[in-house]
Amino acid sequence: MTLRSIRMFGDPVLTTRAEEVTDFDESLATLVEDMLETMDEAGGVGLAANQVGVTRRVFVYDCSHEEGGQRGHIINPVWEAIGEETQTGQEGCLSIPDISQEATRFNTVSLSGQDLNGNPVSLVASGLMARCIQHETDHLDGVLFLKRLNPELRKEAMREIRNSAWFNA
């Protein structure tokens, strides 16, 4: 396994829509292993492939520390909300270090996609796991969580980013 570099805010790959995976080969398995290791090393709960510079529709997650949370990966993910209930909570991103803001997401979602062999998989998730699914799928669509903030919080986050050491390095 290899630690991969996490792309930072401003990198065009983060606003690029990832392509559907059609080849379920050894390189895909290696990518997933590397992403899990990279996410763990960075202390995240999710990581999308384009965050490591790969524009394929894959993300990994680890919400196993929360009740009902799991650890794993999903390829070609598609989710839909179950019900109208939402949750509002702190959200951050490994590609935007040290920035976190209140974002509203659906509380419960149904996720479908594929495993490493191309077999269909599905699950229902609530709470942090549902937030992670929505956040990581946004990444694969080229959308950063900043777009999910209200205008005032987005301005505040952008101000913090512009003043951050990592952005000005």
Q: DSSP string spanning 69-100?
A: --EEEEEEEEEEESSS-EEEEEEEETTEEEEE
73 is in an annotated binding site: no
pLDDT at 56: 98
**Average pLDDT, whole number, for the chain?**
96
Q: What 3-state DSSP class applies to 152?
A: helix
139 has binding-site annotation: yes
Query: Two tokens at 69?
Result: 């949370």
CB burial string 104-142: b at 16+ within 10 A, e below: ebbbbbebebbebeeeeeeeebbbbbbbbbbbbbbbbeb
Given a contact cutoff of 8 angstroms between Cβ atoms, the answer to whether 64 and 45 are in contact is no
Question: Which entry of 19, 37, 84, 136 is annotated as an active-site residue?
Answer: 136
Architecture of domain 12-162: Alpha-Beta Complex (3.90)
The vertex-82 CA angle with 127 and 63, nearest 5°, equals 25
- Ranges under pLDDT 70 in the chain: none
Q: Which of helix, strand or coil describes residue 64?
A: coil
pTM of the model: 0.95
Q: pLDDT digit string (tens) for 56-101?
A: 999 999 998 887 778 999 999 999 999 999 999 999 999 999 999 9
User: How far apart are alpha carbons 149 and 145 in whole angstroms?
Assistant: 7
Chain centroid to CA 136: 2
136 catalytically annotated: yes
Record the tokens describing residue 124, joined without a space: 């229902």
Residue 67 has what pLDDT? 78
